[in-house]
């Protein structure tokens, strides 16, 4: 089966993963070899531990902004690696505690808003590289730089015509390869075409002594002795800065969410309808990220692009993912001189398209069509993430979604009907399945509005659960009902002793 199906699939995923590993490391502000190491660990170690037959792990575009921000905030890549280890330990703990269903508790609107904001930031952060900006300090203060006009004015002083030509041609190529007439080339990944084209342009510029020739710092630079240049975590700094722990938990949470969403998507593509055990997946991801931190790699997740490419190439088992990891390792060891011909402009073009796919105008239109209860949390999540950071943005979006849930809960958990029977005004309050303290304020107001000299029935016979606060509110009303000459009937509701009477 490996020779017939998984070898070819592993090769296809390798061709997709290679440029993405480099590009995501570039976007994260990490050493380029850190992206390749992450892909190798995800392909070999995580795939070996995971029970997913088709998912493929590696560095993910969804983590680039938080990783870049963390590296800048912590000020040292060696210290950042501690946050990666903490992220892995957090994921490992989630898996051991069997909390793999955590993704189900995040509203779809918030997750889509998070991904859209990441797409916007990814595009903004790739613009400098796409035009050949070769200074090391363009982004110095994380997300706040996105709103600095001076930063964008500085770009005009560092435009490289060679990089700009490669970027524009690469973008055109990526768009054309999505067209129906390009289906004959479907077996060859578009990112590979882009990288190969960029190498051809770069070599032509060099051999013709053109003014368009790229500078050395506008090309990938993988050191020949990769493993002799690995960065290791600064364990002596582990308790020196609480920001390390905060960043670790944020990276662990986001990596877990992205992994679980990816696993769900890839399982739906599986023709054999196999279901991945999510808790074991979190354990595999946690061990993988701990290893990434120890060996100087950027954090990894299960990645939809790689998983989908794996399925499309006909993979049957997880040996396809392992094969892709082995091929990445061999490429780094045997052909680093070819990797070093790749222009950053080619990688930035790939990531510009990736960012656009995360924040397409069609997404905003679709979310708006779903109504304000979906659109507002979605937009608010984007705005707050861009203005602050991912954790605050997701938290605010989540709170906003919870507000709508509570608002709906007020309306959903009981119904009021009014009729006139034998000349007596009669009201019925029918409690639904679960009535909690969230309904207390609304129920009190409803009871206070019941007219004197009427009949009132409160029916809780269909309830699975009635909160004590609700029972207490109804019991308090029994005294008021007598004073207001209201004929009160309780069905399926047990009266409780009112709290204030206990202190009498």
Q: Closest Cα partner for 121 from 342, 399, 397, 383?
A: 383
Q: Which long-range contacts (C-beta less than 8 Å, at least 24 apart) are formed by 383-390?
A: 385/113, 385/114, 385/117, 385/118, 385/143, 386/117, 386/120, 386/121, 386/143, 386/146, 386/147, 387/143, 388/143, 389/66, 389/69, 389/142, 389/143, 390/65, 390/66, 390/114, 390/117, 390/118, 390/250, 390/254
Residue pointed to by tokens 């889509």: 112
* DSSP code string of 28-49: HTS-HHHHHHHHHHIIIIIHHH
CA atoms within 13 A on the CB side of 148: 13
CB 487 within 8 A of CB 456: yes
- Residue 250: closest CA among 80, 441, 406, 44: 80
Cα 356 from Cα 237, distance rounded (Å): 38
CA distance 17 to 329: 12
**Strands 465-466 and 434-435: what pairing?**
parallel
With contact defined as beta carbons under 8 Å apart, do 114 and 381 qualify?
A: yes
What are the sequence ranges of the domains in the chain? 2-133+153-359, 372-410, 413-502
CA distance 399 to 68: 26
Q: How far apart are CA 19 and CA 25, in angstroms?
A: 10
The span from the CA of 293 to the CA of 45, in Å, is: 14
Q: 81: number of CA atoms within 13 Å, CB side?
A: 21
* C-alpha to C-alpha distances, 338 to 83, 174, 220, 335, 346, nearest whole angstrom: 32, 22, 10, 6, 14
Superfamily of domain 413-502: STAS domain (3.30.750.24)
Q: Which is it for the CA torsion 368, 374, 376, 381, positive or negative?
A: negative
Evaluate if pTM is beyond 0.85: no
CA–CA distance, 345 with 366 (Å, rounded to integer): 32
Query: What is the distance between the alpha carbons of residues 231 and 82, in angstroms, rounded to a whole number?
Result: 11
Residues 471 and 477: their CA atoms lie apart, in Å, by 10
Question: pLDDT value at position 356?
Answer: 87
H or E element: which one contains 434? strand 434-435
454/462 Cα distance (integer angstroms): 24
The pLDDT score that the predictor gives to residue 291 is 97
- Position 279 scores a pLDDT of 94
Torsion of CA 22, 28, 30, 33, to 10 degrees: -20
Q: What is the pLDDT of residue 282?
A: 96
DSSP character at residue 343: B
pLDDT in tens, the chain (504 residues): 566 678 878 887 887 788 888 888 888 889 888 999 999 999 999 999 999 999 999 998 778 888 988 999 998 999 999 999 999 999 999 999 998 887 667 787 887 888 788 788 778 877 887 888 765 455 554 455 555 666 666 666 677 888 899 999 999 988 888 777 666 655 566 777 888 899 999 999 988 888 888 888 788 877 776 667 788 999 999 988 899 999 999 999 989 988 988 888 788 778 888 889 999 999 999 999 999 999 999 999 998 778 877 887 778 899 999 999 999 999 888 888 888 888 888 888 887 887 888 789 999 999 999 888 889 999 998 998 888 766 788 788 888 877 776 666 555 556 677 776 656 678 888 887 777 777 777 788 888 888 888 899 888 888 888 888 888 888 888 888 888 888 888 888 887 765 444 444
With a CB cutoff of 8 Å and minimum separation 6, the contacts of 202 are 162, 166, 214, 219, 341, 343
Q: Is the CB of residue 485 less than 8 Å from the CB of residue 453?
A: yes
């Amino acid at each position: 089966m490996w020779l017939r199906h998984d070898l070819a699939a592993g090769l296809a995923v390798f061709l997709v993963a290679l440029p993405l590993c480099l590009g995501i490391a570039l976007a994260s502000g990490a050493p380029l070899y850190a992206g390749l190491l992450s892909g190798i660990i995800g392909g070999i170690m995580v795939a070996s531990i995971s029970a997913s037959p088709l998912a493929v792990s590696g560095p993910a575009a969804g983590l680039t902004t938080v990783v870049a921000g963390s590296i800048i905030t912590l000020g040292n890549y060696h210290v950042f690696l501690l946050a990666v280890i903490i992220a892995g330990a957090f994921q490992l703990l989630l898996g051991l505690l069997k909390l793999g269903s955590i993704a189900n508790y995040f509203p779809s609107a918030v997750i889509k808003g998070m991904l859209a904001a990441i797409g916007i930031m990814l595009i903004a952060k790739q613009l400098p590289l796409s035009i050949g900006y070769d200074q090391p300090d363009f982004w110095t203060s994380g997300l706040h730089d996105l709103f600095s006009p001076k930063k964008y004015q500085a770009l005009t002083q560092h435009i490289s015509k060679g990089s700009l030509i490669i970027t524009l041609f690469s973008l055109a190529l990526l768009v054309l390869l999505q067209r129906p007439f390009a289906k004959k080339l479907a077996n060859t990944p578009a990112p590979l075409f882009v990288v190969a084209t960029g190498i051809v342009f770069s070599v032509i510029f060099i051999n013709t002594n053109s003014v368009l020739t790229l500078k050395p710092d506008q090309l990938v630079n993988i050191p020949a002795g990769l493993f002799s240049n690995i960065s290791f975590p600064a364990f002596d700094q582990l308790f020196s800065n609480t920001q390390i722990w905060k960043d670790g938990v944020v990276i662990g949470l986001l990596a877990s969410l992205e992994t679980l969403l990816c696993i769900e998507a890839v399982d739906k593509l599986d023709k054999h309808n196999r279901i991945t055990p999510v808790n074991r997946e979190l354990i595999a991801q946690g061990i993988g990220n701990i290893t990434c931190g120890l060996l100087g790699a950027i954090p990894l997740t299960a990645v939809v692009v790689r998983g989908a490419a794996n399925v499309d190439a006909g993979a049957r088992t997880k040996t396809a993912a392992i094969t892709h990891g082995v091929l990445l390792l061999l490429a780094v060891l045997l052909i680093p001189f070819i990797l070093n011909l790749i222009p950053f402009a080619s990688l930035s073009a790939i990531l510009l398209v990736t960012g656009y796919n995360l924040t397409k105008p069609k997404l905003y239109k679709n979310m708006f069509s779903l109504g304000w209860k979906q659109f507002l949390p979605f937009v608010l999540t984007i705005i707050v993430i861009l203005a602050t950071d991912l954790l605050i943005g997701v938290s605010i979006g989540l709170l906003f979604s919870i507000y709508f849930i509570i608002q709906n809960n007020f309306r959903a958990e009981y119904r009021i009907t009014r009729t006139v029977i034998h000349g007596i005004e009669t009201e019925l309050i029918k409690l639904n399945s679960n009535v909690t303290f969230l309904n207390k304020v609304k129920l009190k107001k409803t009871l206070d509005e019941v007219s004197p000299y009427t009949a009132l029935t409160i029916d809780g016979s269909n309830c699975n659960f009635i909160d004590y606060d609700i029972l207490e509110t109804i019991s308090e009303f029994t005294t008021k009902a007598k004073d207001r000459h209201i004929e009160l009937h309780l069905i399926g509701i047990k009266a409780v002793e009112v709290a204030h009477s206990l202190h009498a």
